[in-house]
Amino acid sequence: MPLTRLKASAVLFALCATTAQAETMATGRNAYGMPGTIDMPSALSFPDADLSVAHSRFQVESRTSLAFQITPRLTGAFRYSYIGAGFSYDRSFALQYRLLDEGRFVPAIAVGVNDLIGTGQYGGEYIVATKSVGPALRFSAGMGWGRLGSYNGFTNPLGAIDKGFETRPARVVGQGGNLELDQWFRGNAALFGGVEWQVNDRLRVMAEYSSDAYPFQNGKTFNRDTPLNFGISYAVTPQWTVDARYMYGSELGLQATFAMNPKERPKYGAGYDPAPPPVRVRGQQALVATEESLETRLRRDLGAQGIVLNGLTVQGGTATVEVANGRYSQDAQAVGRTARVLTRQMPDTVDRFTIILARNGMPVTSVMLSRDDLEQLEFDRDGTEFSVARATLRDTTTGVTPLADRYPRSGAAIEPYFRPSYFDPDAPVRADLGIALGGVMEPLPGLRFSGRIERKIIGTLSESNRVSDSVLPHVRTDSSIYDREGETALTELTGAYFFRPAPQVFGRVTVGYLERMYAGVSTEVLWKPDGKRYALGAELNYAIQRDFDQDFGLQDYSVVTGHVSGYYELPNDYHVQLDVGRYLAGDYGATLSLDREFENGWRVGAFATLTDVPFNDFGEGSFDKGITVAIPLDFVTGRPTQRKNYVPLRPIQRDGGAKLSVSGRLYEEVRGAKNTDLLDGWGRFWQ
């Protein structure tokens, strides 16, 4: 056995034999953005929900990784790499699962797969153990296959279980998109290991023995002279970390990482949420005398809180208001602020409030509150728990008669827009920046007309000159032509009607120019029962492809498309959605989406679509898949707003599995105001 292998085996033995108790040390990120030392993995995990972007580079190879701690044990990453030696850009996913926690006598153990459903450039699997010795020293050692078994390899020990594991089937590196399960943990294996020393709370020093021979790069883009790597990592701030490395005896490497946790409130940009109005206690504070009508006073005070008053009735001791939350990400906060305003403006004879939350003119949920409870619990230490226990929430299909001058209502705004495009094989990032003029008119409850015109000012989206090679109808792969010919574009011009056909049921009909590429008719119905974490919806659309200049013209292509959708809210903020139906290219299949959404509005998720289009006909990527990140703007600015910045990270956009984009889809519109989500966000009721 070679000396280097003996050394690695000795390290692994020492890890398992040590009895030192682990202390807290920073979890390092390797050059792939995953838990690791320098280029090799470790068996650690990031803090739950940790989200990071890392960019590493050495010689001509660079990697940009988005990593997310999906669960406390499961880590995932999407990676976009530039590889020399004629391989250009590469996209890949990675997953690692921590099987065993570190204890007094045992190391942490994890198993991982690199280049999951990728092209095979980084294909490899591993099992790794990590053990801390004291508060500042940590060792890792493991066994790898594929790329991680390519240097100083030996016969696969799994061959003792099944001889088939001793051979790794040949793979043609190419379009990717397949799991390639027949390759996992097969072929030669090799050992790797590393050591980390936490010098202080900012500085970490690392060294490792790598089992990656870099078969596609060695001798072509750089010389791999030794399996040893050395590095230092410095935490500039709690969010920013920089790493410097000397890799494989020939190259210097650098990495910059930005990490944050969407479970936490930011330590910057906060504190701009205005304080709520205090509750007026009857008998202790008199109602302020004024000649203004009750309706005028309520509209003014609710408007100051970002809440629109749709209607008002007062009967006996009960006041009922219908409101639209236009500001707060949690509807419970809008309910709380509405209740506070009611205490300040309603006469003392009114002792009960019914607050109806409306969405696009549709009544969704009524919240009944006792005025006595509001007066007693405002400053109670357990006021949140008591107030939610005493509130009554009900589905409601009937709202309040609108105020005399509530409709028609209209508004317009001019704002900048930013439209990025990622992972073009010819350029990793393209983007346009411009000005958009948008307008909305609501002539009646539930009836809404919307329009948006965009004018590009500067950008690079039009520079893409790739010609679609798709054998399917070009339902999405001609998007670059829309970018070139639509510098001034009518991106939306629609009329939509939202209605309640039955209890727990919502409906929508939208007609017009639905999105940049399609016009038509979209219809939808959603069943969202109270007190349940599931919902069921159905959507049917007739879509006509628009002219490339995004004026009023239409092309010859049209299609009937639609889906039946199931939604379920899992514990710990997970949401799963399954859409089954027909897509824009006429293909049939299903899309599975899994998201993790936090109370502050952050959302991180992934989706995959499989249809009856063969992988070869689909083209590069084999099937549609990607990652989505939704960033609430109030997290950044500290000012309450419902707006979010959606960042879709799709390795490549093809025609198979393509869906119509329609604004106002019902599940996202109404679920925040339904009682399950409303109760989940009740922690902001008094804020």
pLDDT reported for residue 669: 93
Residue 512: is it exposed, middle or buried by C-beta count within 10 angstroms (0-12/13-18/19+)?
middle
Residue-wise pLDDT for 533-563, tens only, equals 999 999 999 999 999 999 999 999 999 999 9
Confidence (pLDDT) at 9: 43
* Residue 118 pLDDT > 80: no
Identity (one letter) of the amino acid at 213? A
Average pLDDT on 399-418 reads 92
Q: Is residue 440 over pLDDT 90?
A: yes
Q: How many helices (H) and strands (E) does the chain have?
A: 10, 30
Query: What's residue 561's pLDDT?
Result: 98
pLDDT score for 175: 53
Instruction: Compute the mean pLDDT over every residue in the chain, rounded to the nearest whole number.
Output: 90
Position of tokens 């880590």? 75
Find the mean pLDDT for residues 588-608.
92
Q: Looking at residue 339, what is its pLDDT? A: 97
Cβ–Cβ < 8 Å for 277, 298: no
532 has a pLDDT exceeding 60: yes
Q: What is the CA radius of gyration of the chain?
A: 29
274: which strand partners? Answer: none
SS3 letters across 298-311:
HHHHHHHCCEEEEE
Most confident of 119-123, 326-330, 518-522: 518-522
- pLDDT score for 17: 38
In the predicted model, what is the mean pLDDT of residues 377-392? 92
660: left (phi over 0), alpha (psi -120 to 50) or beta: beta
**What average pLDDT does range 325-339 have in this prediction?**
94
The H or E element that residue 356 is part of is strand 352-359
172 pLDDT band, cuts 50/70/90, is low
Confidence of residue 668 (pLDDT cuts 50, 70, 90): very high
pLDDT number for residue 664: 94
